[in-house]
Chains A and B, each alone.
Chain A
Amino acid sequence: RKEVEQDPGPFNVPEGATVAFNCTYSNSASQSFFWYRQDCRKEPKLLMSVYSSGNEDGRFTAQLNRASQYISLLIRDSKLSDSATYLCVVNFYSGGYQKVTFGTGTKLQVIP
């Protein structure tokens, strides 16, 4: 089993639609979780952290389910500019040691 798994997509959705991505992770001791977006041939950009209580930033909502070891990202009212690859990241750290694992990403294409 991969350490972090994402459905690669692509997810093709019309403008205005709601779309959700999931990401599962295998290390139950993982401690922090993030979503990044990456545009073609660009660097990843931090989108949001993910907390067990759930957190929202405008049209974006992230959720962590530790019991089932997955994180989710919900995008409401999709815009053309949301088209990108969405990467989930799982962190484990202890003392000076840190393990950062990226998922391979889910590609989103928002269609006019």
Chain B
Amino acid sequence: DTGVSQNPRHKITKRGQNVTFRCDPISEHNRLYWYRQTLGQGPEFLTYFQNEAQLEKSRLLSDRFSAERPKGSFSTLEIQRTEQGDSAMYLCASSFPDSFANTGELFFGEGSRLTVL
């Protein structure tokens, strides 16, 4: 499967614990995005990388959230001291570099569902 891969697919944790999610984008894609989605809502932007550089981070994002993409390939999203309000689906998406040959759309992974008890 050459799509965007995320793991774990499901994570149940107790409040106060740290969790880490991993995303492996499509190999030719230089842009990588993290979104959070709760029931009945659209994806909410968290952060965005171009290669290894984190270009933008949501102002709504707590300092408990951190993301890395150390070699410009896979990315990790860590949530420290989880709270019940962090329960959501965390979606990763990637896209090709801009060119006339592609539409620039995001390709999404299946998501990592977090439940904080």
Partners in one complex: no
